[in-house]
Amino acid sequence: MDHQGNSKVIPNLSSVISERLLPRVRQPAQYIGLETNAYCKVVDSAQITVAMAFPDTYSVGISHQGNQILYHIANNLPGVACDRTYCPLPDAEAVMRSEKIPLFGWESRRAVGHFDMLAFSIPHETCLTNVLTMLDLAGVPLRANQRTESHPIIIAGDAIADAPEPMAPFIDLFCVGDGEETFVRLIELLRQAKQAGASRQEFILQAARSIPAVYAPQYYRPVYNDDGTLKQLRPVEEGLPSYIKRARIAKLSNSPDLANRLVPLTEAVHDRIVIEIMRGCPHSCRFCQAGATRKPVRCRSVDEIIDIARRAVKATGYHEISLLSLSSSDYPWFKELVERLTNEFTHRNISISLPSLRVDKQLEIIPLMTSQVRKSGLTIAAEAGSERLRRAIKKNITEQEMLNGVRAAWQMGWQHVKVYFMAGLPGEKDEDIDAIFELCQRLSQTRMDVDSHRGNITAAVSWFVPRPHTPMQWSAMQQAEYFWSVRQRLKKLSRRTAVQFKFHRIERSILEGVLARGDRRLADVIETAWKQGARFDAWNEYFDYEKWQYAFEKTGVNPYFYAHRQRSTDELLPWDHIESGCPREKLLQEWERLIQAIGQ
Domain residues of the chain, as ranges? 14-235, 376-521+557-570
Q: Can you give the pLDDT at residue 12?
A: 86
Round to whole Å and give the CA distance between 100 and 94: 10
Q: Can you give the pLDDT at residue 175?
A: 98
pLDDT (tens, 9 = 90+) of the chain, 600 residues, equals: 554 445 567 778 999 999 999 999 999 999 998 899 999 999 999 999 999 999 999 999 999 999 999 999 999 999 999 999 999 999 999 999 999 999 999 999 999 999 999 999 999 999 999 999 999 999 999 999 999 999 999 999 999 999 999 999 999 999 999 999 999 999 999 999 999 999 999 999 999 999 999 999 999 999 999 999 999 999 999 999 999 999 999 999 999 999 999 999 888 888 899 999 999 988 889 998 988 898 899 999 999 999 999 999 999 999 999 999 988 878 999 889 988 998 899 889 888 877 656 665 455 555 555 455 555 567 788 999 999 999 999 998 889 988 988 888 888 777 888 899 999 999 999 999 999 999 999 999 999 888 888 888 999 999 999 999 999 999 999 999 999 999 999 999 999 899 999 999 999 999 999 999 999 999 999 999 999 999 999 999 999 999 999 999 999 999 999 999 999 999 999 999 999 988 899 999 999 999 999 986
Q: Can you give the pLDDT at residue 265?
A: 84
Q: What's the gap between Cα 339 and its chain centre?
A: 30
Q: What's the gap between Cα 247 and its chain centre?
A: 17
| CA 427 vs CA 292, 388, 392, 487: distances in Å | 22, 10, 9, 18
- Read off the amino acid at residue 419: V
Q: Can you give the pLDDT at residue 178?
A: 96
Would you say domain 14-235 falls under CATH 3.40.50.280? yes
Q: Can you give the pLDDT at residue 357?
A: 64
Q: Can you give the pLDDT at residue 358?
A: 64
| CA 524 vs CA 132, 164, 223, 404: distances in Å | 12, 14, 17, 51
- Domains 14-235 and 376-521+557-570 belong to one CATH topology: no
In sequence order, which ranges of 540-583 are alpha helices (DSSP H)? Answer: 545-555, 559-563
- Read off the amino acid at residue 408: A
Which pairing describes strands 214-215 and 173-175: parallel, antiparallel, or unpaired?
antiparallel
On the 0-12 / 13-18 / 19+ scale of CB atoms within 10 A, 141 is middle
Q: Are 95 and 20 in contact (CB under 8 A)?
A: yes
Q: Which of 525, 514, 397 is nearest to 463 (CA)?
A: 514
In sequence order, which ranges of 199-259 are alpha helices (DSSP H)? Answer: 200-210
Q: Can you give the pLDDT at residue 600?
A: 61
In sequence order, which ranges of 76-212 are alpha helices (DSSP H)? Answer: 90-98, 128-137, 180-196, 200-210
A 10 A CB-CB count for 146 gives: 10
Architecture of domain 376-521+557-570: 2-Layer Sandwich (3.30)
Interacting residues of 564 by C-beta distance below 8 A, sequence separation 6+:
476, 477, 478, 479, 513
If you ran DSSP here, which 8-state letter would residue 587 be given?
A: H
